[in-house]
Amino acid sequence: MLSQLIVGGLAIGSCYALISLAMVIIYKTSEVLNFSQGEMAMLATFVSFYLLADKGLPFWLAAILTLAFALLLGVVVEIVFLRTAKNPNVLGLIVITLGLEMILYGVAGWRWGPDQQAMPFPIGNTEIYTVGSVTFSRISLWVFSLALGLMAALGLFFKYTRLGVAMKATQQNHLAARIMGIRTKRILSFTWALSSLVGTVAGMLIASSYPLDVNMMMDPMMKAFAGGVLGGMVSLPGAAVGALSIGVIENLFGGYVSLEFKSVVAFAIIVLVLCVRPSGLFARHYVKKV
């Protein structure tokens, strides 16, 4: 039972981890806490559903088009909603993303209605492998390895590509980056696009094993946010580890202690951790200077 619970926790935790990474990418660069991350992914996932189910496109083509849509959505959101705000404060930015969340939710709900849908996915969820007493489903393996692969790719991207380094530079110091000839505005748009892309992959993976509806990303996004905070919100590996451990801890708690309080245990842990380390496990707490 223990190993089975851990396997289940890792499968869902890797979806949390992707959303969490998406949020951290944006937060690191622009200090915007993006509450609409989940709904952006949800809308894009519905687009892929539309391409697959209504237009009958093959999966690979639909996936590429969806990811393109996700990139576009990220750029549009950044340009239309965030760039236009005149010197907003942190709270204003939070409210913009909350408002955006309602708008995206409304649009998807209006277009696709309240009925739950099933995302056509090339891998069925009934194919399973048994190793000892532990059962793996093929889809969970795919989810897990895709998520890991994407995380590794992100790590390499930030380390070795010019664009990635430019993004890191912008994160560390806007002004210095601009002086060094980096087009920081363009970098910001690109940050949103990248984050939207990562979130959308998570959305599609979640839709592969859960019913697709407008509410599907709410719970995962909260958990991902919790995971990101646990890891420190500014560290990519931290966010991934935080979100994965949220998935595992939740499952273990549900399996051994209480199913009833399974969904709040994440938040209790967060509060405890934050009492000891106010900036999360993996981020250095810096003391502000005046």
Partner 1 sequence: MRRGVWIGIMILMLAVGGAGMALAADVRGVTDTEITIGQWGPQTGPAALWGAVARGTDLYFKMINEEGGINGRKIKYVLRDDGYNPAKTKAIAKEFVENIGVFAVVGGVGTGPGMAVRDYLTENKVPWVGPSTGSSHFTRPTNPYIFGVYPLYKDEAYLLTKYAYENKGKKIAFFYQNDDYGKEGLEGAEIALKELGGALVAKVSVEVPDTDLSSHALKLKESGADVVIMWLLPKHAAIILGESAKLGYKPQWISSNTLSDAPVMMNITKGLWAGVITSMFGDLPNEDTPLMKKYREAHQKMAASERWGSFYYAGIIWAEPLVESLKMAGKDVTTEKVLTSLETMNKWRGIGPPLTYTKDEHQGAKSVKISQVLENGDVKPLSDWLQITK
Partner 2 sequence: MDMKRDYYEDIQMLPSAWEGFWFVVLLAALALFPLLGGNYYCYLANLIAINAIVAIGLNLLVGYTGQVSLGHAGFFAIGAYTSAMLYGKYGLSILIALPAAGFTAALFGFLLGLPCLRLEGPYLTIATMGFGMTVTQTIGHWSFLGGRMGINTPKLQILSWQLSKDTEIYYLIIAVAVLMTIGARNLVRTRVGRALVAIRDSDIAASTTGVNLTYYKTLAFAVSAFYTGVAGALFAPVLGFISPENFNLITSIVFLGMVVVGGLGSIFGSIAGAALMTILQIQLSAVQDLWLIGPLISSISTRWFNVGGMANVSNIIIGSIMVAIVIFEPMGINGLYLRSKRFFKSWPF
Burial of residue 227, with CB atoms counted within 10 A of its CB: 0-12 exposed, 13-18 middle, 19 or more buried: buried
CA dihedral sign of residues 125, 39, 35, 60: positive
Structure tokens at 143: 């989810």
Check if the beta carbon of residue 159 is closer than 8 Å to that of residue 32.
Answer: no
Is residue 122 close enough to count as binding partner 1 by CB under 8 A? no
Q: CA 145, 148, 153, 159: dihedral to nearest 10 degrees?
A: -160
Is residue 254 close enough to count as binding partner 2 by CB under 8 A? no
Shortest distance (Å) from residue 13 CB to partner 2: 17
Is residue 12 close enough to count as binding partner 1 by CB under 8 A? yes
Encoded one letter per residue, x for contact with partner 2 by CB under 8 A and - for no contact, window 76-95 reads -----x--xxxxxxxxx-xx
Task: Please pick, from the candidates 97, 137, 170, 191, the single residue that binds partner 1 as defined by CB under 8 A.
Answer: 137
Task: Please pick, from the candidates 30, 140, 171, 191, the single residue that binds partner 1 as defined by CB under 8 A.
Answer: 140
Is residue 210 close enough to count as binding partner 1 by CB under 8 A? yes
CA nearest to 127, candidates 142, 116, 117: 142
Distance CA 37, CA 112 (A): 19
For partner 2, the binding residues in 269-288 under the rule CB under 8 A are 270-271, 274-275, 278-280, 288
Residues that bind partner 1 (CB under 8 A): 1, 4-5, 8-9, 11-12, 109, 113-118, 124-126, 128, 130, 135, 137, 139-140, 209-213, 215-216, 218-220, 247, 250-251, 254-255, 259-260, 262-263
